[in-house]
Structure formats: structure tokens, C-alpha cells
Amino acid sequence: DSPVGVLALQGDFREHADVLRTLGARVELVRRPEELARVSGLVIPGGESSVMDKLARMFDLFDPLQAAVRAGLPVYGTCAGLIMLADTVLDGIVGQKSIGGLDISVRRNAFGSQNASFETDLQVPELGFAPVHAVFIRAPVVETVGPNARPLATLSDGRCVAVEQGNLLGTSFHPEITGEYRFHEYFLRKVRATAFRH
Ligand code: GLN
């Protein structure tokens, strides 16, 4: 049984690893291409997308990550991880790239400085009736959702903050820090259903 990876270049990868282990998954922290090549799924954590992007390129992981996503590796990105998975990044730093895969545009730091961090309860019909308590930390918003992607949750003002597309899942917020396991369970179901081979 191959492990589930957590991209561990930067950000809150330990929290994701803890949730995945609690759910019974074997976890591989991914910092090198050899580690990526072992995993059957990958979580890209929250952190700072521009830094994660630079580190991924420095560690020769960017191209293997992109190839794996294109080949159908199940990937779940939270916050900075969602930015990494977006085809289009708005308000990125100069030269910032994303791995892409999700047919969306995301705007970084979309909630401005005053309101940069906040918490709210969201309905996520795909995960059942109980609301998701969502923590947003200098979070991005999904500004446009293309025809290949599907919104999973919106704020009360209608802005989209969770999406999926095939084996890719992304949230603007951080279930890994609130004891909310349903997104990781949902992701692990994709991992098991896919049994991805590199
Ligand atoms: N603002 C960060 C970025 O642009 C994301 C913040 C987060 O991951 N909590 O990557």
C-alpha cells in the first residue's frame, strides 16, 4: 500500500500529516522527486504560495508535480495549496507560477488586510448536513470557476471557496487546524478509488 504524500517544503504540513494519520493513512513527507514518486495522493498545505513555488523549483519538484497532476494524481490543496493548483493566479508576486490543474482563477489575499483572517460556518452539501467550520488566514478566493471545475462551497456573499475537478480538490480555508476531517476523508476516498501509479 503506497503512502499518501504531504508536500513539506513550507507551511502547515505537520497538521495535514496528523489528520491523515488519524484517518489511518501512512504519510510520506515530500521534499524530493523520489518521495513524490512513491505516493498515491498528495496534500499541498497552507503557507505562502510564492515561497512554496520558489522552493518547488529549487528542489526540482515543480515539473514532477505538474506531471503527476496531469497524469491524474489525486491532490488536495488548502489555501496556498489551492493557489498552487489553480490554472490562473491573480495578484501573485512577479514571476509566480502555479502547478495548475484546476480550471479556476484564484485571487491571493482576497480578503484584504483588515479582514485578512476570519472564521465562518459553511454548508458543503457534498460532505453532508453538518456545517464546516472554516478558518480563513490571508486566504485566496476562487474568482472564476471554468466549465471543468465544480464549486463545493460558497460564502454567504456568493464567493466560491472550495472546488473540485476530477481528482483535484481545493479549499481556501484550513480544515486541518479545526478538527474537521471530512475533506481529508473525501480526498482519501479519491486516493483509494484511483490507486494511482507513477
Ligand atoms: N496568502 C498566502 C499565499 O498567497 C496563503 C495563506 C495561507 O495559506 N494560509 O500563499
| pLDDT tens digits, one per residue of 92-106 | 999 999 999 999 999
Average pLDDT on 98-125 reads 93
Work out which ligand 1 atom sits closest to the CA atom of 174: 9
Q: Tell me, yes or no, if 184 is annotated catalytic.
A: no
Q: Tell me, yes or no, if 160 is annotated catalytic.
A: no
Rounded CA-CA distance 97/116 in Å is 23
Average pLDDT on 167-193 reads 97
- Looking at residue 116, its pLDDT comes to 82
Q: Is 179 annotated as a binding residue?
A: no
Cα-to-centroid distance, 95 and ligand 1 (Å) = 16
The count of structural domains within the chain is 1
Q: Is 197 annotated as a binding residue?
A: no
Work out which ligand 1 atom sits closest to the CA atom of 108: 4
Average pLDDT on 68-85 reads 98
User: Does ligand 1 have an atom closer than 6 angstroms to the CB of 172?
Assistant: no
Determine the residue type at 178. T
Quote the percentage of the chain above a pLDDT of 70: 99
Catalytic residue among 160, 174, 180, 184: 174
Cα-to-centroid distance, 80 and ligand 1 (Å) = 4
- Looking at residue 196, its pLDDT comes to 95
User: Does ligand 1 have an atom closer than 6 angstroms to the CB of 46?
Assistant: yes
Residue 41 and residue 84 in contact, taking contact as beta carbons nearer than 8 Å: no
Q: Is 137 annotated as a binding residue?
A: yes
Kindly report each contact of residues 187-193 with a partner whose C-beta sits within 8 Å and lies 24 or more positions away, as own/partner. Answer: 187/41, 187/43, 187/74, 187/76, 188/4, 188/20, 188/23, 188/25, 188/41, 190/41, 190/74, 191/4, 191/25, 191/40, 191/41, 191/74
- Looking at residue 112, its pLDDT comes to 84
Domain that holds residue 171: 4-194
| pLDDT tens digits, one per residue of 9-53 | 999 999 999 999 999 999 999 999 999 999 999 999 999 999 999
Provide the CATH number for the domain around residue 113.
3.40.50.880
- Looking at residue 151, its pLDDT comes to 98
Q: Tell me, yes or no, if 176 is annotated catalytic.
A: yes
The model's pTM is: 0.97
**pLDDT of 114 higher than 80:** no
Q: Is 138 annotated as a binding residue?
A: yes
**pLDDT of 173 higher than 70:** yes
